[in-house]
Structure 1
Amino acid sequence: MKMPFSNDTFDAVFAIEATCHAPDDGEVELDNGLPDIRSVGQYSPLPWYLPLDTTQFSLSSVRTTAFGRFITRNMVKALEFVRLAPEGSQRVQAFLEKAAEALVEGGREGIFTPMFFLVARKPRSIEVCARHFFY
């Protein structure tokens, strides 16, 4: 990436989920074989961590609000108590909630950004039609 360091500055460098910070998108595309790469900021003006932020309220993602997490926390506790959820479910729920809080803080501080992987599937009716057309 033509970084401002001499070649012998580091013994090794490890980067994961960091291409959105690259100064030259074109070089990332070329080196990684990624056609038409775009940063998250080019898709949405909203911060990526907004759905995890408990200070925000959204009817579309009420489960991630402070109220939604309160309900989830108590539902998991009740389900584990009556043994409909396995032992340890509360610990996992607490761990995931703490991870979400850390992700939001990392996003606010600008020290963490996610990498997205999208899978798309064409509707079956188009697939059947295409098969019929080409056979």
Structure 2
Amino acid sequence: MSSQIEKGRCLCGQVHYQINPAAVLSVHHCHCRDCQRASGSGFATIALLTSHDFILTGGTPKQYQSPGTSGATITRSFCGDCGSPLYSQSSLLDGLVLIKAGSLDDSDWLTLTSSFWGSSARSWAPTDDTCMVYAANPEH
């Protein structure tokens, strides 16, 4: 990891991590129903990066596994004390981590790449039409 890092944490500060911002591959809004339920909002904003560029620096998150809409097993990691969602991993995206952008201490440097599952977007949380919108997951 380079000397430049970005840090993130849960609401209560029990679980924290760091990343190399240069390692972020892309940033997306996911409007699937699972992300809506897990985030309690209209979508989850995720930053995709390789797992070796993600380092837990404190605490141990709890995890919940469920089948994703795409058929993949999704492992969602969150703080067991305050419940903040922190990151996810997909069995179809081996070696990648999907960080919840809102858990970063500073996320202003992120640039949205696309929206997934536009077909599930709620009328009160529409997709951002300034970027590519996929009806479901993009093809690999």
Structure ranking higher in helix proportion: 1
Answer whether TM exceeds 0.5 for this pair.
no
TM-score (structure 1 length as normaliser): 0.21
Using structure 2 for the length normalisation, give the TM-score: 0.21
Greater relative contact order (Cα < 8 A, sep 6+): 2
Higher strand share: 2
